[in-house]
Amino acid sequence: SQQGEEDPQALSIQEGENATMNCSYKTSINNLQWYRQNSGRGLVHLILIRSNEREKHSGRLRVTLDTSKKSSSLLITASRAADTASYFCATDNSGGSNYKLTFGKGTLLTVNP
Amino acid sequence: ETGVTQTPRHLVMGMTNKKSLKCEQHLGHNAMYWYKQSAKKPLELMFVYSLEERVENNSVPSRFSPECPNSSHLFLHLHTLQPEDSALYLCASSQDRASGRARRFFGPGTRLTVL
């Protein structure tokens, strides 16, 4: 199976609520990235967290990384209808020697107004 | 939108047609990538160019042929495709040399339908 797997596959919340998405992976990583994709469009980079970091913030986004559990979470606080999108985690487990950034299947987040 | 553009945005082609997808990045990056996104499947890496040299061909069928004439442009030439090749084709770029560590900047994609 692929390196990064997001959970849940789909999440529906009300505007103003927080949304939490999880990503699990199998092998050691150098970094983990989160991307957002609006329907039928390209992916947009959100946050990169390195293997020696435990938490990063960017505006309403908070990413945590637990390398002992091989998992990461993306928290979106005070969600808005515009946050409706698919969210993907991507892992670099290459040691920097190849080019792959392995993406999961994504979590579809729906924020209802 | 990012500084990566793709044309056309939508393409419908028959199995015997030949067409090309174009990608252009305006970010001064040195690496470019082609990805295929099919429904309910993870993003699949197809080709990687680093400093205009192809560095990875991820077991892609020969009916897909990439071309990178310079660091700003990337093409994907298509011929005798199959219906299962219908997907969203995404181009991306990254700064410096191609690397798994690098943040990807994606274009909006070309929605391809093969009849």
Which of B50, B100, B109 is facing A42, going by the closest CB pair? B109
Looking at beta carbons, which residues of chain A come within 8 Å of B106?
35, 42-44
Residue type, B68: C
Which residues of chain A does B43 touch, with a Cβ-Cβ cutoff of 8 Å?
A: 43, 88, 90, 103
DSSP H or E stretch at residue A86: strand A85-92
Find residues 45-104 of chain A whose CB sits inside 8 Å of chain B: 45, 48, 88, 90, 92-94, 96, 98-104
Q: Is the pLDDT of residue B55 over 90?
A: no
- B66 preceded by a cis bond (ω within 30 of 0): no
d(C-alpha B1, C-alpha B10), whole Å: 17
The pLDDT confidence band at residue A50, using thresholds 50, 70 and 90, is: very high
List, for residues B16-42, the tens digit of each pLDDT value: 889 999 999 999 999 999 999 998 788
> Which residue type is seen at B17?
N
Give the pLDDT mean for B45-62: 87
Q: How would residue A100 be classed by pLDDT, with cut points 50, 70 and 90?
A: confident
Residue B62 to residue A40: CA distance in whole angstroms = 26
Beta-carbon contacts below 8 Å between A and B: 71
Q: Which residue reads 């990254």 in tokens?
A: B94
Please answer whether residues B37 and B88 qualify as being in contact, where contact means their C-beta atoms are separated by less than 8 angstroms. yes
Name residue B75's amino acid: F
Interface residue B112 vs chain A (CB under 8 A): no
Structure letter (DSSP) for residue A1: -
Residues of B whose CB is below 8 A from A104? 42
Question: Quick one: pLDDT band at residue A95, thresholds 50, 70, 90?
Answer: low
Q: From residue A111, give the alpha-carbon distance in Å to each of A45, A102, A107, B44.
A: 20, 27, 13, 28
> In 10 A of CB B26, how many CB atoms?
11
Report yes or no: A60 and A78 within 8 Å, Cβ to Cβ: yes
